[in-house]
Structure 1
Amino acid sequence: MIQIFHNTRIYVMAPSSFSSGGPELLHQLCHKLEKLGYDAVIYYHPHAENPVHPNFVKYNCKYVTQLEDKKEHVLVMPETFFFMAGQFKHIRKCGWWLSVDNLFKTKEAPEHYRYIKKLGLDGMYKWAIMTGQIKGRFSYHLAQSVYAVDFIRKWGMEAGYLSDYLNDSFLQQSRANIHQAKKPQVLYNPLKGLAFTQKIMAAMPEVKWIPIQKMTPAQVGELLNESMVYIDFGEHPGKDRFPREAAIYRCCIITGKRGSAAFQEDVPIPEKYKIEDREEHIPAIVQMITVCLTDYKHHINDFETYREWIYGEEAGFEKDITALFVRS
C-alpha cells in the first residue's frame, strides 16, 4: 500500500521523446491516476525541448521536468531509472519493475558495477546492483509480472502487483477484423531470441517467416490479423506485449520458458504450447508449429481463455491502482 495524502503529488518518471512498451505503460499509469482523481504528472528525464513522444499525446498527461523532493510526494521509477534513486533524498520512491532482466542491462549503471560485469562475475554484478541501488533506497515496490514479484521476494522484499493493458486501438482493431482469412505464415520478434529462432527457421525452410520490425502499430495489427502463428523464444523480461497482441488477433502462440513465460499467471496459455528453447526440443517445436498451421481452426480455440483475460486487463489495472495507492 502506498499512502496518498491530501497534498501528495505522484510523479511517474519516463524517458523523454522515446516510444516503446515500457514508456507507454508509464503514460497509461499517469493517465489512469488522473482519471481516478489523483494528482499525477509525468516526470521526464532527461530534459528535452519536446519530451512528449507523438505516440503518447493521446494520453493527455500533464508533465514536469523538475520535481519537488518532499516526503509527502511519491516518485514512481521504472527499473531502467533505478540507478538514479540516490539523487532524491526525501521523496518516497516506488520502484516499478516493468521487467527484471533489463535492470541488469542499464548502460548508466555505476562504473564499479560495470567493472564487475566485465570480469564476468554475473552473480556479484546482480548482488552489487540489488544491494547498492535497490535495498534501502525504495519505500515501495510494484511489479508488472508475477515473474518480477517472485524475483523481488527472493531478495527479501515485497512488491504489489500492478501489471498493464494493451492499447485500446489494438483491442478495437482486433475485434473489428475478426472474420479475416488467415495465411499459413509464422511471425517472430527479431530482437528477442533470434539465434534460437533461426535454428527453427532452418528446420522449416518451406514455411513463410516474417519478422515484426520497422512497422507502425497499425501495420503490426494488420500483419497479426492475417497470420496464423506467432512464436517467441526470447527472454520475456516482463509480461511482454507481443504475445498478447498476437493472441487478440487470433494467432496461435508458441513460447519458450524463459522469464515471465515460465509463469502461467503471466502467459496463461496451455502448457503444451510452451517448449524450452533447447536444441533437442527443436523437433517438438517444429511439430507444434506444423499442426498449428495445418489444423489452425482446431488449435486457435485453445487460446480463447487467454484472449478474454487480455480484454479484461484494463479494468483489472484500474482496480489494482485503487488498491495500491490508498488515500488517507
Structure 2
Amino acid sequence: MIQIYKNTRIYVMAPSNIASGGPELLHQLAYKLEKLGYDAVIYYTPDVENPVHPNYTKYHCKYVTTLEDREEHVLIMPEIYFFRTGHFKNIRKCAWWLSVDNLFKTKGEPKHYRYLKKLGLNALFIKAIMVGQIKGRFTYHLAQSHYAIDFIRKWGMEADYLSDYLSEGLLKQSRENNGVVKKPQILYNPLKGLAFTEKIMAALPEATWIPLQKLTPVQVGELLNESMVYIDFGEHPGKDRFPREAAIYRCCVITGTRGSAAFQEDVPIPAQYKVEDKDENIPKIVNMIKSCLSDYNRHIENFESYRQWIYGEEAGFERDIKTLFIRQ
C-alpha cells in the first residue's frame, strides 16, 4: 500500500506526445487519481513544447515537466523508465510493471548491460538488471498483470495488482454496433508473433486474413466489428488490449500461451482457445479457426463471461486505487 499524506503529490511519469497502450494507461491513472481526490499530475519527459498527445486531451490531466524530489511525494514509473531511478534521490519511487518482456527490450539500459545482451548472455542480462537496477531501488511495486506479479515474486519481491481498463468510448461503441453481420475473416497483429502466425496462414490459405496495422482507432474498431476471429500468438508482455478489444466487438479470440496469456486471471477465455505456439499444434489451431468461422454463433457464446469481465474493469480499477493509495 502507498502512503499518501496531506501534502503528497503523485507524479505519473509518461513520455511526451506519444500515443500507445502504455501512455494511455498512465493518463487513465492520473485522471482517476485526480477524480478520486488525490493530487496527481502527469510528469512528462522529455520537456517539449507540446507534451500532451491529442489522443489524451480528453483526460484533462494536469501536467508538469519538472518535479519536487521530496520524500512526501510519490513518483510512479513504468518499466521504460526503470533505468532512471538514480536521477531521483528523495522521492518515493513506485515501479508500475505495465509489461515484463518490454523491460528487457528498452534501449534505456546502461552500456554494460547491453554488452551482456550482445554476447548472448540473456539469463545473466536479466539477472544483472533485476539485481542491479530493480531490487532495492523502489519503495513500491505495482503490476498490470498477474504474469508480472508472478515474475516479480520469483525475484523475491512483492507487487500489488493495478491493471487497466478499456476506454468508455470504445466500450460504448462496441455495444452500439452489436447487431452488425459478421464476415468470415481473421484478424491478427503483425507486430506480435508474426513468424508463427504466417505458418498458420500458410496452412489455411483459403481464409481471409487481415493485419491490424497502419489504422486509426476507428478503423480498427470497424474491422473488429465486422470480423469473426482474432488470433494472437505474440509474447503478451502484459495484459494486452487487442484481445479484449476483439472480445467486446464479439470476435472469437484465439491465443498462444506466452506471457500473460498463460494466466487465466489475465486472459480469462476457455482453455480450448489457448494453444501453445508449436509447429505440431498448427493443425489444431487451424481446425479451431475453421470451427469458429463455420459455427460462429455457438463459439461466440463461450466469450460472454470474458466480455462482462472486460466491462467491469474500470470499476475494478477505481476500487484498486482506493485500496492501494491510502490517505493518512
Same fold at TM > 0.5? yes
Superimposed CA distance per residue, residues 41-84 of structure 1 (whole angstroms, 9 cap, x where no aligned partner) = 00001111100000000000000000000000000000010000
Q: What does 1:130-279 align with in structure 2 at a 5 Å threshold?
A: 130-279=130-279
- The amino acid of 1:79's aligned partner reads E
Separation in 1, partners of 2:40, 2:133: 25
Give the Å deviation of 1:168.
1.2
> Secondary structure in 2 aligned to 1:18?
coil
**Partner residue, 1:325:** 325
Separation in 1, partners of 2:68, 2:124: 35
Superimposed CA distance per residue, residues 137-191 of structure 1 (whole angstroms, 9 cap, x where no aligned partner) = 1000000000000000000000000000001111000000101000000000000
> Secondary structure in 2 aligned to 1:228?
strand
- The amino acid of 2:308's aligned partner reads E
Question: Are 1:60 and 2:89 an aligned pair?
Answer: no
Identity over aligned pairs, percent? 75
Question: Are 1:117 and 2:117 an aligned pair?
Answer: yes
Give the Å deviation of 1:215.
1.0
Superimposed CA distance per residue, residues 102-152 of structure 1 (whole angstroms, 9 cap, x where no aligned partner) = 000010110000000000000100011111111111000000000000000
Give the Å deviation of 1:218.
1.1
- The amino acid of 1:57's aligned partner reads T
> Secondary structure in 2 aligned to 1:231?
strand
> Secondary structure in 1 aligned to 2:83?
helix
- The amino acid of 1:312's aligned partner reads G
Unaligned runs of 5+ in 1: none
**Partner residue, 2:104:** 104
Separation in 2, partners of 1:42, 1:133: 24
Separation in 1, partners of 2:168, 2:219: 15
- The amino acid of 2:106's aligned partner reads T
Separation in 1, partners of 2:215, 2:167: 16
Unaligned runs of 5+ in 2: none
Separation in 1, partners of 2:108, 2:33: 29
Give the Å deviation of 1:228.
0.0
**Partner residue, 1:86:** 86
Q: Which runs of 4+ in 1 moved over 4 A?
A: none
**Partner residue, 1:289:** 289
What TM-score results when the alignment is normalised by the length of structure 1?
1.00
Q: What does 1:23-34 align with in structure 2 at a 5 Å threshold?
A: 23-34=23-34
> Secondary structure in 1 aligned to 2:269?
coil
Superimposed CA distance per residue, residues 229-264 of structure 1 (whole angstroms, 9 cap, x where no aligned partner) = 000000000000000000000000000000000000
Separation in 2, partners of 1:10, 1:26: 12
Separation in 2, partners of 1:120, 1:2: 38
- The amino acid of 2:129's aligned partner reads I
Separation in 2, partners of 1:90, 1:243: 39
- The amino acid of 1:254's aligned partner reads I
Separation in 2, partners of 1:326, 1:215: 41
**Partner residue, 1:10:** 10
- The amino acid of 1:299's aligned partner reads H
Q: How many residues align?
A: 328
- The amino acid of 1:43's aligned partner reads Y
Separation in 2, partners of 1:91, 1:131: 21
Separation in 1, partners of 2:20, 2:168: 16
Separation in 2, partners of 1:236, 1:212: 16
